[in-house]
Structure 1
Amino acid sequence: MTENQEHQPESERTEPSIAQPTNAGTDLTEIDDPLSQCEAVILTPEERKVLIETALEHKTTGNTHFKNKDYASALSSYQEALAVCPEDSSAERAVFYANIAACYIHMEDYKKAVENCSEALKCTPNYSKALLRRASANSRIGSWSSLTDSLADYKKILELEPGNKEALAATRTLPGRIEVQQEKEKNEMMGKLKDLGNSFLGNFGLSLDSFQMNQDPKSGGYSINMKK
């Protein structure tokens, strides 16, 4: 997928799509058309129709902003769509959350993208596009825990779509990144602990360099002694 393709939304449709979200494509920032298949729980059919039509109008406005790369305005429109969408309309709400996440990815607010993808997945657990966006956002955050979560999502995607090229590539490269990042964060933590220890020992005219750690060859235990 080229960079230009990644930023292209789906074509507008005159009627809302009825395809399941789990069958969506793999473009991380491609926007979806919501669904209208949930049964009414509290609302009457007429009330539900009005609310969903209103949500679709906000979505259509958001699509226009998205295509014009006005992601802040697109975000606002998708949030308005979510606000009027019936609470029990899980499929529709999943799509709106995923569209919001797409905006946040473009706006480089990856933590909020992750949060909204997680909300989408609460509505539709096997929503592959939300999994892809969350995996990508976590990969861009780049912390050890985020990279680990990213790898887990890519593995889940491969369960749903065994031939997904992006997921296949990520599962090959992420383990190495995770190992490097884990070592980096461990060293940073040890450095902070050493600074904290030196700050405390400095009150007594000492530092951690004043001590040495020795391992007992028989027990394998360690003892800390003052250097002579």
Structure 2
Amino acid sequence: MVVIEPVPSTDIQAKPSKSTTAGDGINSDVLDSGGDGKATASGYASDGYETASETEVGDDAAVSDNTDKPHVELEEVSAVSKDQTYEDALNDDELKQKVLAQMNETKVEGNKLFGDGLYEEALLKYDYAIQLAPEMSSSSEIRSICHNNRATCFFKLGKYEDTVKECTKALELNPSYMKALIRRGEAHEKLENYDEAITDMKKILELDPSSYQSKRTIVRLEPLANEKREKMKEEMLGKLKDMGNTILGRFGMSVDNFKAVKDPNTGSYSISFQR
């Protein structure tokens, strides 16, 4: 008969928790939260950094049971891409110069297309150059030039209202832009907006009193402006007369029953009724 004697149980001492390296699991003691407060499986937040992998860090061999040894933190390894590193190395001034250079290159491409008579394609190039830095103050000069160039394209295409709009945008960025004033004045003349064209010519004379061409244009346009004003006045009076006849006709009268007499001394008018 075989007697099995019981083997005395041995207390298993718990192994000290790992607080310095990544082992088979994630230890919350070494997790570093990022900007959003969330930890990742690598042990650190995923905001551009990653920790050493578990294969690079030993298991139990890297953990000492001697609590007197100093605490060792995992080293963070930067995971910044090459492009990001390059962009970060540029300071603000260099970035602005880079954008301005790209805008100028695009403008030059538009000029070449314009020279080839490809006005629609040139319009797109100028617009792209404008959109590269719509709010950057140092780009205002190039944007103003591109708006004026777009105005010139529209003028060539016979789209004079668009020409006026683009010139106005150019002048908002550069109020003393002579070419934009000249181009807008020409577009206003095409639209028979003679008073507006004269205003632009007078602005040019303020900037350059020796502008003989502007003086000639004003002299040429003033009679046309007066003629247009008189024509508009007659059209307005005609409409008012028709309206008056419609109302007075209900009473058997017309505006012809009323005569306006001008006082030569005061310039005022008196209305008299005639049957």
Please give the secondary structure, in 1, of the residue aligned with 2:175.
coil
Aligned to 1:139: 189
Aligned to 1:182: 229
Structure label with greater radius of gyration = 2
Question: Does the CA-based 8 Å contact 1:85-1:92 persist in structure 2?
Answer: no
Question: Does the CA-based 8 Å contact 1:134-1:153 persist in structure 2?
Answer: yes
Aligned to 1:169: 216
Question: Does the CA-based 8 Å contact 1:74-1:103 persist in structure 2?
Answer: yes
Kindly provide the amino acid, as one letter, of the partner of residue 130 in structure 2: L
Deviations 1:172-224 (A, max 9, x none): 21222211111111111111222222333344554323443456899965124
Cα distance, 1:198–1:72 mapped onto 2, change above 3 Å: farther
Deviation at 1:140, TM superposition (A): 1.6
Question: Does the CA-based 8 Å contact 1:104-1:110 persist in structure 2?
Answer: yes
Residues in 2 aligned to 1:202 and 1:120: alpha-carbon distance in whole angstroms: 53
Residues in 2 aligned to 1:191 and 1:60: alpha-carbon distance in whole angstroms: 53
Q: Does 1:127 align with 2:174?
A: no
Q: Does 1:103 align with 2:153?
A: yes
Q: Does 1:94 align with 2:149?
A: no
Question: Does the CA-based 8 Å contact 2:140-2:173 persist in structure 1?
Answer: yes
Question: Does the CA-based 8 Å contact 1:98-1:120 persist in structure 2?
Answer: yes
Aligned to 1:199: 246
Aligned to 2:50: none
Aligned to 2:4: none
Q: Unaligned stretches of 5+ in structure 1?
A: 1-42
Identity of aligned residues (%): 34
Aligned to 1:7: none
Kindly provide the amino acid, as one letter, of the partner of residue 117 in structure 1: C
* Number of corresponding residues: 182
Question: Does the CA-based 8 Å contact 1:105-1:137 persist in structure 2?
Answer: yes
Aligned to 1:54: 102
Kindly provide the amino acid, as one letter, of the partner of residue 123 in structure 1: L
Query: How does the TM-score come out when normalised to structure 2?
Result: 0.58
**Partner of residue 78 from structure 1, selected from 126, 131, 138:** 126
Cα distance, 1:118–1:217 mapped onto 2, change above 3 Å: closer
Kindly provide the amino acid, as one letter, of the partner of residue 132 in structure 2: V
Aligned to 2:255: 208
Aligned to 2:165: 115
User: Which has the bigger relative contact order, CA under 8 A and spacing at least 6?
Assistant: 1
Question: Does the CA-based 8 Å contact 2:201-2:214 persist in structure 1?
Answer: yes
Residues in 2 aligned to 1:71 and 1:180: alpha-carbon distance in whole angstroms: 35
Cα distance, 1:90–1:67 mapped onto 2, change above 3 Å: same
- Tell me which protein shows more helix as a share of its residues: 1
